[in-house]
Chain A
Amino acid sequence: MSDRIDARFRQLADERRAGLVTFVTAGDPNPSESQRLLAALPRAGADVIELGMPFSDPMADGPAIQKSSLRALEAGQTLANTLAMVGEFRTSDDATPIVLMGYYNPIFSYGVDRFLEDATRAGVDGLIIVDLPPEADSELCLPARACGIDFIRLATPTTDDRRLPSVLRNSSGFLYYVSIAGITGTRVGETDVVAGALARIRAHTELPIAVGFGIRTPEQASRIAETADAVVVGSALVDAVEHTPGNAAVAVSELVEQLKAGVLSARKA
């Protein structure tokens, strides 16, 4: 298990508050601005960073992250660059966990062993690979765990009690609960429905649970933070990148500060 993720969720528990997980796409809108943005996220209040590995065919993502991936690819982003970005980030921040999120093909193409070696060296703490369900654990999940990299799994409204144990079996770090059946950035689940789902999942696992997909405003973040261990915001941030060319780090930082205030305003039950 990743020490950084473990330590961060312990800290959140000690502080009796939910964490803020921020998603941005590596290389969006271009390599240098993306590197500045990455460094700015913890200062603005990000507790955990999800860094998207852009893919040409992001099947589980809505328009915002699709466009963000394309911007990054058009600016020349590659998986090797993404790993180098993490390495550069680690020279000034050795505490904030970084979880790489994306699709399997670029990793498969890079070579699983080589990827895990380079990711470990760069300081990657976890992986969320959207198109690798538990049925495909031997592909990347088990080799990653053997390297001390967490494999963070998505649970969704369609993950029923029968399926939950197989989703949890090799999960580590935290669990990512997708609040809706749908793609990223479209809508957010009803607070009480999400709370019910979290209660059901907590009967099966001790892992911290982050909730995401569709959370855009400080108010939404606050409501979700009442029950979740962490709140994930992605599409709203990459929208901000799109709308503030040349100034993405500042614009995203402002939004992250507001979201963090929302998260901190939540009363923990």
Chain B
Amino acid sequence: MDQSNSFRNGPDEDGHFGTYGGRFVAETLMPLILDLEEHFAAASRDEAFWSEFNELLKHYVGRPSPLTFAPRITERFGGAKIYFKRDELNHTGAHKINNCIGQILLARRMGKTRIIAETGAGQHGVATATVCARFGMPCTVYMGETDIERQQPNVFRMRLLGAEVRPVSSGTRTLKDAMNEALRDWVANVEDTFYIIGTVAGPHPYPAMVRDFQAVIGNEVRAQIVEAEGRLPDTLVACIGGGSNAMGLFHPFLDDAGVRLIGVEAGGEGVETGRHAASLTAGRPGVLHGNRTYLLQNDDGQINDAHSISAGLDYPGIGPEHAWLHDVGRVEYVSVTDAEALEAFQLCAELEGILPALEPSHALAHVAKLAPDLGADHLLVMNLCGRGDKDVFSVAEALDVEL
């Protein structure tokens, strides 16, 4: 295809997707991210790097994850033929580990000896602690106190894996504050420390790097749907917090004009209530955590709290490539509420025997709205990017069930 018309050329050399992205960091970190960029570029050209990455994905993570037809959900919604991409079956229970494998290999290549990470729901923290255990590297995970309260099982898992979980009590005590604290750690430990960012955000090269490690999701779907149906899908749906699972699924399809792409943000208690995490739906462009993107912010440019039943979507920003894809109209972005996600969570458990995480439950809630109006020959793939075991306590609480 004509490369000048491609949606897959970004970012430019300064890390921009349109006007989004970039490198908005303190001077102390600039040499580090320039160094990281150089090493990532070299690794990207190195077949040995990718073959080690792919080996680990196959034998340690358990990829490829299946593409599963969901017969009873399809029947219930009464329209499109619905497939789940089963990234919840990965080792550690979510897509997050794909990226962690890639980044820890890069950290080793760069001679770094200590790993730090931020986490919201704890899935990225668990995945980071896991690869650190596997490669024998000390690991510190920053997690907001609010998130620690609602994700106790993941906190314990990280500790079992040998990671130190440092509670973050600043700001709103959620994912954004954990990211602030991880950045503060990195600034103070520049010599030996590698920061494994968990989503397609942060300063360049993180958004592109995390996307490239997560693109395995979309690349597998491409091969699997062709094998199952003999053609590409009509619609792809994924949930979005920072947007890494969605970007991993969408990116290989961006230039397939016939494939409709839909990202589902967390509408919390409803976008109209102001208590939500829908940065694209209700935010405006700004600069935070190293990149320009859509942010939830007040009139004075102060970052607003995000709200979602799902800790993994509870972030006031979104990856800069999503911001650009939103503006150019290649991807549609919608939102669903806590209540709708909760209903989808239960439906998936009852009808398909799968407990989805609350994050992909948002994607499924949108599929529920979309699918009935589509024909039976319409192929819809939803990324089931994480499993719901970690959420059973939150769900029980939301349903007023005492455990």
List A residues at the B interface (Cβ < 8 Å): 55-60, 62-63, 66, 70, 73, 78-80, 103-110, 130-133, 135-136, 153-160, 163, 167, 178, 180-183, 186
Contact = CB atoms under 8 A, between A and B. Distances in A.
Interface of B: 14, 22-32, 170-171, 176-177, 180, 183-184, 187-190, 285-290, 292, 295, 297, 299-303
A134 to B, nearest CB: 8
Nearest to B180: A59
A107 B187 CA distance: 24
Contacts of B189: 181
Given A154-B27, A163-B31, A181-B28, A57 B171 contact: yes
A56 B28 contact: no
Given A104-B287, A106-B302, A131-B287, A182 B188 contact: yes
A58 B290 CA distance: 12
A167 to B, nearest CB: 7
A109 B289 contact: no
Given A57-B177, A60-B28, A106-B300, 12 more contacts: A59-B289, A60-B184, A70-B171, A79-B301, A105-B295, A109-B297, A131-B287, A133-B26, A135-B22, A136-B22, A157-B28, A159-B27
B31 A159 contact: yes
B301 to A, nearest CB: 3
A73 B27 CA distance: 26
A154 B285 CA distance: 26
Contacts of B32: 158
Contacts of B176: 57
A167 B29 CA distance: 13
28 contacts: A55-B301, A55-B302, A57-B171, A57-B288, A57-B303, A59-B183, A60-B183, A70-B171, A78-B300, A79-B301, A106-B300, A106-B301, A106-B302, A109-B299, A110-B300, A133-B26, A133-B27, A135-B23, A135-B30, A136-B23, A136-B24, A158-B28, A158-B190, A159-B27, A159-B31, A178-B28, A182-B187, A183-B187
B27 A107 contact: no
Given A60-B187, A132-B24, A136-B24, A108 B287 contact: yes
Consensus secondary structure, chain B interface: mixed
A178 B27 contact: yes
Contacts of A60: 26, 28, 183-184, 187
Nearest to A109: B301
Nearest to A153: B27
Given A56-B302, A57-B180, A136-B24, A105 B286 contact: yes
A60 B290 CA distance: 12
Contact of B14 (A56, A130, A135, A163): A135
A63 B22 CA distance: 27
Q: By CB atoms of chain B within 10 A, which of A104, A107, A133, A136 has the most?
A: A133
Given A79-B301, A133-B30, A159-B31, A109 B184 contact: no
B190 A181 contact: yes
A104 to B, nearest CB: 5
A241 to B, nearest CB: 18
B287 A105 contact: yes
A56 B296 CA distance: 12
Nearest to A162: B31
Contacts of B289: 57, 59
Contacts of A181: 28, 187-190
A57 B287 CA distance: 11
A63 B297 CA distance: 22
Contacts of B28: 60, 154, 156-158, 178, 181-182
Q: By CB atoms of chain A within 10 A, which of B23, B180, B290, B300 has the most?
A: B300
